[in-house]
Amino acid sequence: MEIKCLTVGPIGTNCYLLCDEQAKACAVIDPGGDGPRVCDAVRACGCDPCAILLTHGHYDHTGAVADLREAWPQLPVYLSHKDVYADAYARQLFPPIPGAVDLGEGDSVTVGGLTVTVLATPGHSKGSVTFRCGGVLFCGDTLFAGSCGRTDFVGGSMEEMMASLRRLGALEGDLQVLPGHMEPSTLERERRTNPFLLQAMGGAR
């Protein structure tokens, strides 16, 4: 397994390429913008894209989906239908992704020989999920290094965020935390130092 990170779009979203180099397959996680650059990175990695995985439906995580689909028309896109809205106001934040495949708690997606499992982690949005592959968590805008995602957008909830952070904090092991923005971290570091995670876990440790 190899993971490449590109910081894309106007507010610095982390787009990840999750690669199984043996199988020559990869998934693109949260292609938030700079579509031509993301497409070039996929071609350069030497793996064929087999899926676009979206941690949630905000525009800054989905902005390059159209470019990827133009380059690879059969590429499936996975997004929780809880982040699909009909009204025009919400669609400014959650642009439509035609043909997106619904995913949720307990689902899995195969990337070559890798298995990506889905943990429902609402709070930042109703459909926010965390993708786990082995010892790596792709947390989207749920858990950041030293912080957590905003809850004041459409579909956000601080109560749900606290429950999701508590769930992530209770996972066993020192997992790698790859967030949707800013620098990576580890779960053990966040359990020690992240005030939001500490609050969610009842001040433990």
Residue-wise pLDDT tens digits, 130-159 = 999 999 999 999 999 999 999 999 999 999
CB 13 within 8 Å of CB 7? yes
pLDDT at 205: 45
Average pLDDT over residues 177-203: 95
pLDDT at 49: 98
Burial track 167-197 (b if 16+ CB lie within 10 A, e otherwise): ebbeeeeebbbbbbbeebbbbeebbeebebb
Q: Could you tell me which of 67, 3, 73, 57 has the C-alpha nearest to residue 34?
A: 67
pTM: 0.97
Domains in the chain, CATH or no CATH each? 2-200 (3.60.15.10)
- For the purposes of burial, counting CB atoms within 10 Å of the CB of 106, is it exposed (0-12), middle (13-18) or buried (19 or more)? exposed
